[in-house]
Amino acid sequence: MPAPGAPSRWALYLDLIRWNRPAGWLLLLWPSLSALWVAAGGFPGWHLLTVFVLGTILMRSAGCCVNDVADREFDKHVKRTAQRPVTSGKVSTREALALGAALALVAFALVLTTNTPTVLMSFAALAITLVYPYAKRYVSMPQAVLGVAFSFGVPMAFAAVQAQLPPLAWVLLLGNLFWVLAYDTEYAMVDRDDDLRIGMKTSAITLGAYDVPAVTAFYLVFLAIWTAALWAVVNPWVWGAMLLVALAQVVWHFRLIKDRSRDGCFKAFRLNHWLGFTVFVGVVLGLV
């Protein structure tokens, strides 16, 4: 029995998978849905829409379980993460891994309702998800590894719709990788002092004084690659209007992070899903 006033197991599990912080799975969802629409040339159908929405939420939740277990010793020394359920000892590593495995199995069951190419790609996606937490120990820009993991829904969407992987799928993945570099560097800027102290490797540390211009450049490269790739596919007037809104958000992000304040960088990261949503709307309306 939990102590009076202590959170229930259910509440702890929801906290473990960041249920009250949907920004994380939205960052995964918007590029995947954009790719679904592009691959299908419009609405992809309710089946694939359901598979990708639920699968994205489930796999992001499973990833949180794995990440918190892998980082539990580091997270004790970081202000923002010290009270996470696994780090604080409220949820055991065995419980967290069991929950993560259960969520991943449900996601895999959804993938099994698609086709063989998508099922095969899901194994690669799982492998990258498992590798990322440990990349922070050895790779100077682990955000690039996360970029691949968080962009893998793009080629999976093409595989699910077309049962093949055209060059466009990989170009869009490359572009999305730069968006992940942008927002996860903002995230890393929040914890830079703590990460330096404990020896964690992040893009914010690697980029040093060039972090703000680099983040801005990452945003612009992301938008440039997707614009070049989709200009002949979507209505250029719709895409151009979307691009103005997206660029206004890039300027906003620059203003939030230019002083490198913890609150400003964290706010910039948390609001990134609006940029993904903006691009998604440009894709949907541009294909009408």
pTM of the predicted structure, to 2 decimals: 0.91
Q: What DSSP string describes 245-278? A: HHHHHHHHHHHHHTT--HHHHHHHHHTTHHHHHH
pLDDT above 90: residue 106: yes
Mean pLDDT value of segment 101-107: 94
pLDDT, tens digit, 9 for 90 and up, residues 224-263: 999 999 999 999 999 999 999 999 999 999 999 999 999 9
pLDDT, tens digit, 9 for 90 and up, residues 122-158: 999 888 888 887 777 777 888 888 888 889 999 999 9
Mean pLDDT value of segment 79-93: 81
Structure confidence at residue 6 as a pLDDT band (50, 70, 90): low
The whole-chain average pLDDT of the chain stands at: 90
Q: What DSSP string describes 144-203? A: HHHHHHHHTHHHHHHHHHHSS--HHHHHHHHHHHHHHHHHHHHHHHHTHHHHHHHT---H
**CATH code, residues 9-286:** 1.10.357.140
Q: Give the range among 11-25, 107-121, 231-245 with minimum mean pLDDT.
A: 11-25
Predicted confidence at residue 173, as pLDDT, reads 97
Predicted confidence at residue 151, as pLDDT, reads 92
